[in-house]
Structure 1
Amino acid sequence: MATILLVDDSTAIRNMLKATLEPSGYRTLEASGGRAGLEIVRNQQLDLVICDQNMPGLDGLGMVKAIRSGSTNQNVPILVLTTETSDDMKSAFRAAGASGWMSKPFTPERLETALNKLLGN
């Protein structure tokens, strides 16, 4: 069973992700921001991270950079799920080491396709 960390300051988005992922057999962990997400990244074995860009404290780009420069879960796939759509933002995330990008709102089908690709299913 793959463990996926959901990092978004929106409880509603985290709940929608959980409602999509858990019935498919994924184990989910949650964080409401980048700093809390990094604590989980440092202390849990993860198969995938899904994170937002716009969060208080530490945004998604900062979180991706911190994960990639760390030692624990340094190579975990990271899917950015955000309302941001600018090419500059996408390029910044790619340069920082994000594995994939999906715009909000998402559909369960699009999410499942992205997960299969990132998890190698």
Structure 2
Amino acid sequence: MAQVMIVDDQINTANMLSMAVTVLGHEPLELHRGEDAVEMLRSAQPDFILLDFMMPGMNGLRTLEEMRTIPNGEQVPIFLLTAAKDHYLEEQAKEAGATGFLPKPLNLDILETILRKIGKNGSGK
């Protein structure tokens, strides 16, 4: 079972992602602000992070950059989520260290495939 950190300012979206992660047999860790996610990452060791791109305050890109400076965040797979269809955002995310970029609403088959792959690569707990 992997621990999946979910960071999304939209509580309904975060709740749906948490339910999906649970149904897929993993443990969700739900947060709603980038600042809180960065602070939590200092003590938590999630196997995987789903991070909303568009958030007030510390947006997803800035959160990603901060996460990559923390020892627990250097290697963890981090996927940014957005409803925006902008290839420039995807380029920015990859330059900042994102593992991948996923569209909202998130296709659960894609999430399941990614979580399965992480488990096979030994990144899961």
TM-score (norm. length: structure 1)? 0.92
1:103: Cα distance to partner? 0.5
Give the 5 Å matches for 1:1-121: 1-117=1-117, 119-121=118-120
| TM-fit CA distance, 1:50 | 0.4
Number of equivalent positions: 120
Backbone CA RMSD of aligned residues: 1.3
Overall identity of the aligned pairs, in %: 33
SS at match of 2:71: coil
Shift of 1:115: 2.6
The offset of 1:112, in angstroms, is: 1.2
TM-aligned CA distance change 1:60 to 1:48, over 3 Å: same
The CA deviation string for residues 42-94 of structure 1, in whole angstroms up to 9 with x for no partner, is 11111011000111110000011111122223211001111122111100000
Alignment partner of 1:6: what SS?
A: strand
Any conservation in 2 of the 1:7–1:14 contact (CA below 8 Å)?
yes
